[in-house]
Structure 1
């Protein structure tokens, strides 16, 4: 498949296909004598899998590692569960950090409503 065909089949841009190839999500494509890349039909499925993993919260480096583990044929749910556990832990940390920011913003909003704007750092009585 040409790069444009892979991109259409995977619902991504041609630039995304090139990027994934550079980053190791896709194996390097064979080249036709004309220089055009020639991808196997499985390339679109691999891109869709990579996007699904990213949607779960995996970083691109983690996606590459997951796909490599899968490629060896040794990956099982049990052997790979730790990866998803790490993603969930990271997401929990981000949620907690966002909750702290939200709580702080809510406190500042309450102070503002009470006539004491803390945003200006000078007591905000104006």
Structure 2
């Protein structure tokens, strides 16, 4: 398959296919004498798998590592569960940080409603 067909079937752009090839998500494509990339049908499924992992919260480096572990053989849910645990831990940390930021913003809003606006007095101790 040419790169355009792979991109269409996988639901991504041609640039994404090229990027995934450069980053190791896809193995390097064979080339025709004309220089055109030629991919096997498995490239579409590999891209779909990569996108599914990214939608779960995996970074691109984690996607590459997980796919390479699968390629090496022997990967099982048991042996790979730690990857999902790491993603969940990272998401939980982000949620906690966002909760802290939201609490600070909500407190600032309450101060503003009470006439103690932190926005207009930033850096000035006189107006606090």
Q: How far did 1:51 drift?
A: 0.4
* C-alpha distance 27-124 of structure 1, shift in aligned 2 (>3 A): farther
Q: How far did 1:94 drift?
A: 0.5
Q: How far did 1:31 drift?
A: 0.3
Segments of 4+ in structure 1 off by > 4 A?
A: none
Q: Is residue 84 of structure 1 aligned with residue 79 of structure 2?
A: no
Q: How far did 1:72 drift?
A: 1.3
Q: Is residue 65 of structure 1 aligned with residue 65 of structure 2?
A: yes
* Deviations 1:68-123 (CA, angstroms, capped at 9, x unpaired): 01111210000000000000000000000010000000000000011110123236
Contact 1:54-1:63 at 8 Å conserved across structures: yes
Question: Residue 87 of structure 1: SS of its match in structure 2?
Answer: helix
Question: Residue 19 of structure 2: SS of its match in structure 1?
Answer: helix
Q: How far did 1:124 drift?
A: 8.2
Cα root mean square deviation, aligned? 1.1
Query: Under a length normalisation based on structure 2, what TM-score does the superposition of the two structures give?
Result: 0.94
Q: How far did 1:34 drift?
A: 0.8
Contact 1:117-1:123 at 8 Å conserved across structures: no
- How many residues align? The count is 125
Question: Residue 61 of structure 2: SS of its match in structure 1?
Answer: helix
In the alignment, what sits opposite 1:101? Answer: 101
User: C-alpha separation between the residues in 1 aligned to 2:50 and 2:69?
Assistant: 13
Contact 1:116-1:124 at 8 Å conserved across structures: no
In the alignment, what sits opposite 2:118? Answer: 118
In the alignment, what sits opposite 1:46? Answer: 46
User: C-alpha separation between the residues in 2 aligned to 1:118 and 1:34?
Assistant: 63
Q: How far did 1:9 drift?
A: 0.3
